[in-house]
Amino acid sequence: MNRAPVPGGGLSLAALACMLLAALAGSGCTERAAAPNRSQQVDALFAPLRSGVQPGAAVMVIKDGEVVHRAGYGYANLDALEPMQADTMVRLASVSKQFTAMAIMVLAEQGALRYDDPVSRYLPELSAYPGVTVRHLLTHTGGLPDYYDTIDTGTSLPTNADALRLLGEMAAPVFPPGERFEYSNPGYDMLAPLVEAASGMEFAAFMKERVFAPAGMTHALIHDHRPPVIAHRALGYEPEGGGFVLDDFDPLNGIVGSGGMYASLEDFLAWDEALYGSSLVSRDTIDKAFTAMRLNDGSTTDYGFGWRIDDYRGQRRLRHGGSWVGFRTHIARIPAHRFTIVILSNRGDFQPETYIDPISDIYLGAATP
């Protein structure tokens, strides 16, 4: 990994936060004016990312099916001075989970699997985890152990098949399935080989043919252990020594399911529209993804199938963040207002979730109680 600092434009998180607060104060004054330009107010929030040469973010706001703000800030590639744009491909990290979950939903609707089937029916290597179902993996309630610090990365880049074998050998459930919520990347990593077992297709091919294409996501792809060529790809960076260093590679980059997907803002516009329709699965099936999991004791979590569930000013909100190497991403949807925010960043010190409420306030503050 290149550790040479890339000079220029680096801002600390404290400086970004300070400028964010100043921008918010300005947006408040603007909103009291006769005709506020909301897109310019969003620009003000991200203005620090346009200072000098630094990695940045691609940001999109959708209201009632129309893009009301779309812009890139900073650079996707510091060496080549390629700016962040609407077609820049960004590693989604854990935002990938909602797409993995959709693959399971597609298979469930066609009858290839059921949510309450034991995982070992499709992955016999996991027979040491009795009672763990497909639904448990989707909702982070399966109790699979974390293998990331155990898997061998010294001889070759590990794959999902390697992770599956290792989990089978570990045979050490953390808790009984359904007992509690515990965020589990290994659980989602196991959904990828499960898709392969139930469909007879490789995971990347299934995602392209059965999820991305029907949704109209023309650029989205899976980056597995056979790295594809990705045009207009953002590189991940971390701040160091007053500049930035490349942080784009990890030995676990080839394991997919919990992450491993690349997409652009253009892809997310198509994805958001697909979630309001039935081009992928029925409305009833989509609603299952947005329903909180009920635990064994009857209590509910704040998680459905690849989506966290909370609220904004009393309206249900569906959201998810992602963090891996030098990428930080977030999507938030408020279906009652047909309102969506997507933030895709290629800098490891960025916190996209902190921008969700301020942007929502700009567009929805006067429209919600």
Tell me which residues are annotated as active site.
94
What confidence tier does 369 reach under pLDDT thresholds 50, 70, 90? low
Contacts of 6 (CB under 8 A, 6+ apart): 53, 78, 79, 237, 243, 244, 245
Of the two residues 17 and 316, the one the predictor is more confident about is: 316
Quick check: 131 and 119 in contact, CB under 8 A? no
Predicted pLDDT at 146? 97
- Per-residue pLDDT at 366 exceeds 70: no
| Spatial CA neighbour of 96 closest among 334, 351, 350, 320 | 320
Quick check: 143 and 177 in contact, CB under 8 A? yes
Tens digits of per-residue pLDDT, 26-41?
Answer: 433 333 333 469 999 9
Phi, psi of 82 (to 5 degrees): -90, 120
Predicted pLDDT at 368? 61
pTM of the model: 0.91
| Spatial separation of the C-alpha atoms in residues 257 and 168, rounded to whole Å | 18
What confidence tier does 156 reach under pLDDT thresholds 50, 70, 90? confident
- Where would I find the H helices in the chain? 13-31, 38-46, 97-109, 134-138, 160-170, 185-199, 203-206, 213-215, 265-276, 283-289, 356-364
Tens digits of per-residue pLDDT, 66-79?
Answer: 999 999 999 999 99
Which residue ranges form the domains of the chain, and what is each CATH number?
13-367 (3.40.710.10)
Phi, psi of 28 (to 5 degrees): -65, -45
The percentage of the chain sitting over the pLDDT mark of 90, rounded to a whole number, equals 87
Least confident of 173-177, 225-229, 251-255, 289-293: 225-229
Q: Once rounded to an integer, what is the mean pLDDT over residues 131-141?
A: 98
Q: Mean pLDDT of all residues in the chain? A: 91
Of the two residues 238 and 12, the one the predictor is more confident about is: 238
